[in-house]
Structure 1
Amino acid sequence: MGPPAEGQAAPPEEGRGFWRKLGPGLITGAADDDPSGIATYTQAGAKFGYGLGWTLLVTYPLMVGIQLASARIGRTTGRGLTSAFAKLWPRPVVAAAVLMLLVANIVNLAADLGAMAEVTRLAIGGPEALYALAFGAVSLGLQAWLPYRRYVRVLKWLTLSLLAYVGVAMVAHVDWKAALSGAVLPHVTWNAETVKMVVAILGTTISPYLFFWQAAQEVEEIERVEKDQPLHKAPHQAPAQLRRLGFDTWLGMGFSNAIAFFMIVAAAATLHAGGQLDVESTAQAAEALRPVAGDAAFVLFALGILGTGMLALPVLAGSAAYACAEFLKVRRGLEKPVGAAPAFYAILAAAMVCAMAISLIGIDPMKALVWAAVINSLMSVPIMVGVMLAAGSRRLMGDLRLPLGWRVLGWAATAAMAVASVAFVVTSFAS
């Protein structure tokens, strides 16, 4: 679970049930495997077989480092990342970071809606445009009219939809010896195509919207639980809360990467083994599974797309709304009714409506999904620098600033993303 928190012993209430201890970390990790992630991991398995499984072992501790830094900022200060950045940087710099997040999230939302609509059409027929609008409207309605304390329960149960991809791997004929070899002894030919895929994997596992979301949800938890306060005001709560943060984040990111591994090996065992090396749409990926792995694999793949899509939509739209509302200094929060935070919900609705409009243009969902991951990767570096500077700032965090070991992990994640982004730019211009 990581280094033990410093300080006093945990209070008695820390002994609550396992499921209740899980929250922002689990939901954030599961939302990481959104349709964008599914598309990226399926492409990786189809094109490279078992060869890129190692990327998930590498990204796991890096994800934990940057997500824990984000969560700790929210829990310690009682504010989201935008407010933390505003205390350290000039307002125009913060505005640029928020704008980058908003653009990337809208592109990602549009791609996810398109993927969900395409899979639904494949399963039951009908117009894709109608499905995209319906999924967007249902997600928006749930966020607007269901209080956070109830909505978070829905999100936690939706994480179980990702187990569908374990089922896909189980019904496929996976060469587990080769799969494990690809995870620990990779044999990859490095070229522009490989670099682009590795960057896409990094971009979909270490995404800026996840940083903003987990920090914001820690703030929501403080408001939801009456006895909880920001740790800088109630340092006696720090030992228990920091242990919970570590447990929740390690488990959530581990769950995310384990599911991603099953996606890669399932695609390698079916699509790659069958000579289907290029998957151009989510529908094609689902349909290609049917002859080689049977109807069960197709159904599980489709259900997984829909379940994780409904989990990811509020995370993407919500993280953008939190960031923008904090920058504008208006009331915000999914626990508040629409009338109490109209600007926050207006931003959330605008992001979703823009994404719904883009999804209707007819852009290839699979290509949009992979490029959404690449966009996330390229814009992650400056935001990750901001997270690490904020988490390590004594002025902002006081004695509860991120410990050295976690700072090393967070900066390692930032460096890895920077190297991958530079490599992608260089190989793109060279090709």
Structure 2
Amino acid sequence: MADSSNIETPQADAPATGLKGFVARLGPGLITGAADDDPSGIGTHSQVGAQFGYGLAWTFVLTFPLMVAIQQVAAEIGRVTGAGIARNLRRHYPRPVLWTMVSLLLIANIINLGADLSAMGAALQLLTGGNAGLYTLLFGIVCVVLEVVMSYPRYASVLKWTTLSLFTYVAVVMVAGVPWGHALRSLVVPEIQWNAAYATAFVAILGTTISPYLFFWQAGQEVEEEHRRHVKPLCITPREAGPEIARIRMDTLTGMAFSTIVSLAIVFATAATLHAHGIRDITTSSQAAEALRPIAGQFAFLMFALGIIGTGLLAVPVLAGSAAYAVTEMLGVPGSLDARPLDARIFYATIAVTTLAGSSLNAVGIDPVRALYWAAVVNGVLAVPLMVMMMLIVRNRRAMGRLTLPIGSTVLGWSATFVMAAATVIFFGFAL
């Protein structure tokens, strides 16, 4: 998204071509897009499909370019400046702004972690029986251990391949009996309902699509990739910007397209099964999986439940990792998934504390599903000002050097910010 049309690039070895080369260039954008379809997001999309059928499918066409635009902004902040979003806020803007945003991020992430881990525990209970609360805690411990003991290159590779779990929802939609003519038409012909439930569902889709933790994660991952490849930030080496910005665009576009396709698959599958059979009230992803079994069969049930666990194993580290990046950048201390635990104690402590705090919500009597409402409130409060600050950073020459965002991309970024602001106003308008 940075304007690199007139920037010279040095000669380098020819990159791998074909499918192998394409897959090799995927990374932070793909993982970020896949993590967007976390278990709580699956629950939201299941509810949308069950309650409104295909009536809100058009919103994914609207949100796709917006999420691409704002995630590219986050990625370029990391790659160009060599620092994450919180560190850039610390460098260029008042400290109270930084502390407020990081505090809100921590609250929202812990609640989302609780909802995701609970959904994973409930899904495993559906498959095997047993105690869902125990499974929830065990999933939290496993995720923490993996983030602490695995090296960054190996862990990033694991996350990358975990995205394949999302194909389970493509498999589900293929056996759900979707009326494809109606479904595809709904992408371009809105079926708008003028009521509070429809407006709230629209806001919920935006809230699960454009989420603050994804901004911090993708920017932080670009910084990690710089360290792994032993390259300097693009603000120092602007001649290398051409291929790097192209890689970010391709990676982010692919990741967000993948996320959108999977989200639509969930909406289509639940619309063709649950909505078509009069089941309209689904509040969790595990409820959606259970409701699918008598309608779409055992295969659809198994794929849906396994997908919840697979996407959770991807999303939980992203939620906890984004919190760790934000906290260490706010404090100005080292923090990296490639660092040894004793060299980045605050970073790994944040991962452990946020993950285990989320997994404990049920144990202390807090319903994670109900808590998601408050997570949506916090995300709504945080997303818009954070997006505003990101747009200011990416146009700030002190931060970005010669690689400030060009006008066309700036318009898209501000459009995403405006739409999210309007959605937040709508949310509070119906909530109050």
Question: So what's the TM-score if we normalise by structure 2?
Answer: 0.96
One-letter amino acid of the counterpart of residue 338, structure 2: E
Identity over aligned pairs, percent: 51
1:209 maps onto 2:205 in alignment:
no
Question: Shift in Å at residue 419 of structure 1?
Answer: 0.4
Give the alignment's Cα RMSD to 1 decimal.
1.7
Structure 2, unmatched stretches of 5+, are none
1:72-151 aligned at under 5 Å gives the runs: 72-151=76-155
Separation in 2, partners of 1:38, 1:340: 36
1:153-172 aligned at under 5 Å gives the runs: 153-172=157-176
Equivalent of 2:247, from 244, 248, 269?
A: 244
Aligned to 1:199: 203
Separation in 2, partners of 1:252, 1:338: 29
Equivalent of 2:396, from 374, 393, 396?
A: 393
Question: Shift in Å at residue 121 of structure 1?
Answer: 0.7
Aligned to 1:357: 360
Q: Verify the 8 A CA contact 1:51 1:188 in the aligned structure 2.
A: yes
Equivalent of 2:235, from 232, 238, 242?
A: 232
Aligned to 1:221: 225
Question: So what's the TM-score if we normalise by structure 1?
Answer: 0.96
Tell me the alpha carbon deviations over residues 98-143 of structure 1, each in whole angstroms, 9 at most, x when there is no partner: 1011111111000000111011111100011110111000100010
Give 3-state SS (helix, strand or coil) of 1:190's partner. Answer: coil
1:8 maps onto 2:8 in alignment:
yes
Question: Shift in Å at residue 13 of structure 1?
Answer: 3.9
Separation in 1, partners of 2:374, 2:166: 22
One-letter amino acid of the counterpart of residue 158, structure 2: V
Tell me the alpha carbon deviations over residues 252-286 of structure 1, each in whole angstroms, 9 at most, x when there is no partner: 11111011011100010011001000113333211
1:368-407 aligned at under 5 Å gives the runs: 368-369=371-372, 372-373=375-376, 375-407=378-410
Equivalent of 1:51, from 39, 52, 55?
A: 55
Separation in 2, partners of 1:289, 1:165: 12
Aligned to 1:181: 185
Q: Verify the 8 A CA contact 1:36 1:372 in the aligned structure 2.
A: no
Q: Verify the 8 A CA contact 1:200 1:371 in the aligned structure 2.
A: no
Tell me the alpha carbon deviations over residues 32-88 of structure 1, each in whole angstroms, 9 at most, x when there is no partner: 000111011101000000011111110111001111111101001110001111222
Q: More deviation in 420-429 or 380-389?
A: 420-429
Equivalent of 2:259, from 248, 256, 261?
A: 256
Q: More deviation in 312-321 or 419-428?
A: 419-428
1:300 maps onto 2:308 in alignment:
no
Separation in 2, partners of 1:252, 1:96: 29
Q: Verify the 8 A CA contact 1:168 1:297 in the aligned structure 2.
A: yes
Q: Verify the 8 A CA contact 1:203 1:374 in the aligned structure 2.
A: no
Equivalent of 2:329, from 301, 326, 329?
A: 326
One-letter amino acid of the counterpart of residue 43, structure 1: Q
Q: Verify the 8 A CA contact 2:292 2:301 in the aligned structure 1.
A: yes
Aligned residues: 428
Instruction: Decide whether aligned partners of structure 1 residues 365 and 6 sit closer, same or farther in structure 2, where only a CA change above 3 A counts.
Output: farther
Instruction: Decide whether aligned partners of structure 1 residues 375 and 274 sit closer, same or farther in structure 2, where only a CA change above 3 A counts.
Output: farther
Separation in 2, partners of 1:136, 1:14: 42
Q: Verify the 8 A CA contact 2:4 2:241 in the aligned structure 1.
A: no
Instruction: Decide whether aligned partners of structure 1 residues 4 and 329 sit closer, same or farther in structure 2, where only a CA change above 3 A counts.
Output: closer
Separation in 1, partners of 2:41, 2:10: 37
Q: Verify the 8 A CA contact 1:29 1:253 in the aligned structure 2.
A: yes
Give 3-state SS (helix, strand or coil) of 1:36's partner. Answer: helix
Stretches (4+) displaced over 3 A:
1-6, 9-14, 361-375
1:264-279 aligned at under 5 Å gives the runs: 264-279=267-282
Question: Shift in Å at residue 368 of structure 1?
Answer: 4.2
Structure 1, unmatched stretches of 5+, are none
Tell me the alpha carbon deviations over residues 19-42 of structure 1, each in whole angstroms, 9 at most, x when there is no partner: 110000000000000011101110
Q: More deviation in 238-247 or 372-381?
A: 372-381
Question: Shift in Å at residue 362 of structure 1?
Answer: 5.1
One-letter amino acid of the counterpart of residue 98, structure 2: V
One-letter amino acid of the counterpart of residue 397, structure 2: R
Q: Verify the 8 A CA contact 1:26 1:248 in the aligned structure 2.
A: yes
One-letter amino acid of the counterpart of residue 223, structure 1: H
